[in-house]
Structure 1
Amino acid sequence: MKTSFLSTINSNNKSKLSAGFVKAALGAFAMIFVVSCKVGEEYTRPDFGDDVSSEFYAGGKKEETLAVDSLNSNEVNNDTIPMSEIPWKDYITDRTLQNLIDTALVNNIDLQKAMKNMEIGMEELAQSKANFFPSLNARPAEYRRDYYSENFNNYGSNRARRNHGENPPESFYTERLEYASALQANWEIDVWGKLRWQKEAARAQFMKSKEFKKAVQTSLISEVAATYFNLVMLKSQIEVAQKNYALSDSTLNIVQLQYDAGESTSLAIQQTKSQKLKAKTLIPQLERQYVIMENKLNRLLGRSPREIQIDTDFEDIEFQERYTSGVPLELIKNRPDVAMSEYELITANADAGVANALRYPSLNIGASAGLNSFKLEEFFDPVGSGFALLNGAIFQPIFNNRKLKTNYNVALSQKEIAQLDFKDDLITAIADVSNSLAKMEKLKEEFAIAQERIEVTQKGLKDAGMLFKGGYANYLEVISAQSDALESELNLINIKNQLLIANVELYRSLGGGWQ
């Protein structure tokens, strides 16, 4: 069904009736606008009940949490502030690593792309706001001339006689001639909230793009830190391997002297030399891994491969243990990926509102005003050439109602899917934190054991060397002590590196890094 009205106003006509009609129509539209309502359900955050725990699980131990409601907390003691609320420069104190992260935040390509996506979302949000206002278009100049012949259905019309007199030509006469210039406006009245839902969806998508940028940043900081720690670890392991190679060379020299003195066999020389070559082989293996890791870090920094100067001593790097993990519901506001999932649910809810609003009548009004004349010399006469048009229309879907209903039902199902995705992402995030807490707890135990072991193996290596030089131990015992000491030292470095990365990973899993 479509209803419309058209009012044409000329300055030399009686205009009181037309003006009254226009005012009445505008008044009716204004009343409809005032009493208009927004169909659909406003978004409320779903309550997942006991499916989302109030504490992080870390293998039977209850982790320390905040004693206040995470969604309504105003003041938090600095000694118990959650890790996720700590700015990354306060959490990561290594100056070299801070400089690398600063470079990555400026040059990283993925982060730059995320920022561009955020700009796109901002433009789309601005466009959704503009939809509430009338559209205004101009036709600065328009020329039209229609030619017809005698057999034309409207031959001899008033328009033709006005151009040619009482006897228009029989072939290709000018039926219509006009010069025009006009302004046109069109306005869709948001009776059922369609435009408001579209604005809400655009806003949710913009906020999602902001959270995506945060997610890229937190992931970038975590990856740069992990790669940096791996580099420092490999550097330390190379030093250990070189020290072990020098020790193996010294042992071979002693065995050679014993062989020359007739106190050992050629087999001892061969086995000791084999141990020396084994120790030497480890050095290029570690150096190869170092170059690959160095290239990975350069890519994160947004630049081509080059040498990265790292003067940090691995033993000087300390663990971060000052802050608590907070409570699971904080992940909604702190973890960008969880926030993105909720904004996707908000978008789905808004899309359902749009689909619902499309099932109801829509109201459009339009207007145009300008100049129109069949004589160019009289075109700029506002009295004789001026015109104004006003029209309105109500559109009610009838035969496509089934399609609109289907679209609405599909939108509701998609909303339910988005809610399930939100729940799944929240549970996954909580599990991620719990895994990081358990990993850190067990790595601390491993590190303590590794420290105790290295004390034992270093003492054993020292004793084996002294006994070997005194003739109370053979070369096999020395080789075994050297291998055990090397393994324990490399293992200690590796566990410490895992613990450092676990610290950063826990920080990321809690949502830290974007502040």
Structure 2
Amino acid sequence: MLKRRLYQCLSAAVFSVALAACATPQLVQREVSRNVPASFPNSTQDVNNTAPVRWKEFFTDPNLVALIDTALHHNQELNITLQEIQIARNEVQARTGEYLPSVSLGGRAELEKPGRYTLQGATEEAVNIQPDRRTPSPLANYQLGAFASWEVDVWHKLRNARKSAATRYLASVEGKNFMVTNLIAEIANSYYELLALDNQLVILKQNIDIQENALRIVRQEKESARVTELAVKRFEAQVQNTTSLQYKTQQRITETENRINFLLGRYPQPIVRDDQTFNALVPQPIQAGVPSQLLSNRPDIRQAEQNLIAAKLDVQVARAKFYPSLGISGGVGFEAFKPGFLFTTPESMLYSLAGDLSAPLINRNGIKALYASANALQIQAVYNYERTVLNAYIEVANQLSNISNLEKSYDAKAKEVQALNQSIRISNSLFKAVRADYTEVLFTQRDALESKFDLTETKMQQLNATVNIYRALGGGWN
């Protein structure tokens, strides 16, 4: 009868555990959309792509290559990210150990004297024990053995947690790759900006010489009473204005050099460069390929994809917390009340084996909250993936359009500079012949200076657009 009652109790317990496990809340999950347009705007479906080109082959300037190589070894932010990757790798190792059996070796020594009115003390007094066979008081106990515990991963909760950690490790690697891509692009853009500033400084110095020469001529004209003091002051003001621009440009050069030095992880020092080659630089032709290639070329898209996979695994881990958990524990060793008896076998040998099965039954709000949060994070990861893909597509589309428009803008600016250079000579000749007002000479020189600045700026933007689309396509990290 007692055995039957015990079986009934066990059956009821198992039924309760199963019922608790089945009562898992169902939440709606959103599937990710991986559809991208077949091609970029105003582009053919050519599969040739510049992204796989290594950065040392894409950038041909040896000075720029040396700067990038230094940054990849000494940039502090990149090195911080490398340590984050190591932390993620350690997390994988920790998760791996959770679903493997845990075995430990241990020893123990204790001394106990039960009180007279405790259960043990009262029992000894109540039992008729012969004086020469009484339990020693105080009673020592020595123990030495190996003990093991293992949570049987029935529902793959621990394995999925390990897979999630491994996937996030892969995501951290992709994050590092994306940082490398951005770092290379930032150094290249700053380097081209530095070359452009060097050329603008040369233009300013040339214009100062031209304006000072014009000032001397105007002063001579004033002595001949052909112009007034007003013309002299206007020409002097123009010289001072251009000189002021020269100092501002020198400050921008210093700041750009220091920005590059910061990216290289070093204190300020001159940046080695050949500014004479700037005007000869020609933007490299870019092959954008097809949008679907972004899914495999862009590190940030692959990072978002890995995070999405990890989020789905986290949902499975959170769901498994509703199910029963099975634990097994055991031990084997020696135990005795005197050290001399510790290794006396079989009297001093001990062994144990136990299993436990448990599942949450009442007050599962905490588990429900974790499960709901895991689902929300998964949906968030879906949106983040789609946003990353959309952002990558738009970046490439913008840069393709930018390259096309900058090419046309540069041609127009080059023609403008050529026309204004001719107009300077014409205005000077007319001024000497008293056929043009001095203001026409001033305006012509000012317009010519601005157009040369704009031409240099447009060339820099062309080079930067080439760098930016190389980055947008997913190039630079391999």
In the superposition, the TM-score normalised over structure 2's length comes to 0.88
Tell me: CA distance 1:363–1:451, structure 2 relative to 1, closer, same or farther (3 Å). same
SS of 1:315's equivalent in the other structure is coil
Deviations, residues 87-106 of structure 1 (Å, cap 9, x unaligned): 11111111111111111111
Aligned pairs (5 A) from 1:337-486: 337-401=300-364, 403-486=366-449
Inter-partner Cα distance in structure 2 for 1:371 and 1:489 = 92
One-letter code of the match for 1:151?
Answer: Y
The 1:378/1:158 distance shift into structure 2, 3 A limit, reads farther
Structural RMSD (CA): 2.5
Equivalent-residue separation in structure 2 for 1:371 and 1:168 (angstroms): 20
Q: After superposition, what is the alpha-carbon deviation per residue over 1:332-355, rounded to whole angstroms, capped at 9, x for unaligned? A: 222122222212211110011001
Aligned AA (1:108): N
Could you tell me how far apart the structure 2 residues matched to 1:168 and 1:102 are? Answer: 78
Q: CA deviation at 1:156?
A: 6.1
Percent of paired sites with the same residue: 29
Counterpart of 1:64 (choices 34, 44, 47) is 44
Unaligned runs of 5+ in 1: 1-39, 68-79
Which amino acid counterpart does residue 485 of structure 1 have in structure 2? A
Provide the residue aligned with 1:298 in structure 2.
261
SS at match of 2:430: helix
1:275–1:167 Cα change, 3 Å: closer
Instruction: Report the counterpart of residue 5 of structure 2 in structure 1.
Output: none
Does the CA contact (< 8 Å) of 1:468 and 1:478 recur in 2? yes
Amino acid across the alignment from 2:99: F
C-alpha contact (below 8 Å) 1:231/1:294 kept by paired residues: yes
| Conservation of the 8 A alpha-carbon contact between 1:156 and 1:167 | no
Deviation at 1:273, TM superposition (A): 1.4
- Could you tell me which of 152, 167, 179 is aligned with 2:118? 152
Which residue of the partner structure matches residue 317 of structure 1?
A: 281
Deviation at 1:246, TM superposition (A): 0.6
Please tell me whether the aligned partners of residues 161 and 168 of structure 1 are also in contact (alpha carbons under 8 angstroms): no
1:489 to 452, 466, 473: 452
The answer (yes or no) to whether the contact 2:105–2:147 under 8 Å persists in 1 is: yes
Matched with 1:102 is 69
Query: Could you tell me how far 1:359 is from its partner in structure 2?
Result: 1.3
Q: 2:99, 2:449 → 1: CA distance? A: 72
Deviations 1:182-228 (A, max 9, x none): 11111111111111211221011101110111111111111111111
Q: What does residue 81 of structure 2 align with?
A: 114
Question: Match for residue 144 of structure 2?
Answer: 181
Once residues 114 and 324 of structure 1 are traced to their aligned partners in structure 2, the CA distance between those partners, rounded to angstroms, is: 31
**CA–CA distance in 1 between the matches of 2:323 and 2:134?**
54
Q: Distance in 2 between matches of 1:348 and 1:468?
A: 76
- Checking the alignment, whether the CA contact within 8 Å between 2:198 and 2:275 is kept in structure 1 is no
Deviations 1:146-173 (A, max 9, x none): 122322222265799999744569xxx3
Name the SS of the counterpart of 2:255 in structure 1: helix
Partner of 2:199: 236
The letter of the residue matching 2:173 is K
* Distance in 1 separating the partners of 2:68 and 2:423: 42
Q: What is the distance in 2 between the residues matched to 1:237 and 1:292?
A: 15
Partner Cα separation in structure 2 for residue 210 and residue 163 of structure 1: 74
CA distance change for structure 1 residues 145 and 229 in 2, over 3 Å: closer, same or farther? same
**What's the CA shift string for 1:266-321, capped at 9, x where partnerless?**
22211111111112111101111111111111111111222223223221322111
Aligned residues: 450
Does the CA-based 8 Å contact 1:362-1:394 persist in structure 2? yes
Pick closer, same or farther for the CA change 1:405–1:269 going to 2, 3 Å.
Answer: closer
CA deviation vs aligned residue, 1:41-94 (integer Å, no higher than 9, x gap): 9x9983344xx322223xxx2x13334xxxxxxxxxxxx3x1221111111111
CA distance in 1, matches of 2:129, 2:38: 86
- Hey, what's the Cα distance between the residues in 2 that align with 1:410 and 1:142? 44
Q: In the alignment, is the contact (CA less than 8 A) between 2:30 and 2:382 conserved in 1?
A: no
Aligned-partner Cα distance in 2 for 1:398–1:252:
94
Whichever residue aligns with residue 258 of structure 2, its letter is N
2:97 matched to 1:130?
yes
Shift, 1:128, TM fit: 2.0
227, 238, 241: which one aligns with 1:264: 227
Distance 1:182 1:263, change over 3 A: same
Structure 2 residue 32 is matched with structure 1 residue 46? yes
Q: Distance in 1 between matches of 2:292 and 2:456?
A: 36
Cα distance change, pair 44–385 in 1 and its aligned pair in 2 (3 A) = farther
Name the SS for the 1:480 alignment partner: helix
Tell me the distance in 1 between the aligned counterparts of 2:345 and 2:280. Answer: 86
Q: 2:217 aligns with which of 232, 247, 254?
A: 254
CA distance in 1, matches of 2:455, 2:435: 30
Deviation at 1:461, TM superposition (A): 1.5
Indicate the residue corresponding to 1:89 in structure 2: 56
Question: What is the SS of the residue equivalent to 2:154?
Answer: coil
Contact map agreement 1:190 1:196 (CA 8 A) in 2:
yes
Deviation at 1:181, TM superposition (A): 0.8
1:436-495 CA-partner distances (Å, limit 9, x unpaired): 111121111111111111111111122223333455444323222211211111100001
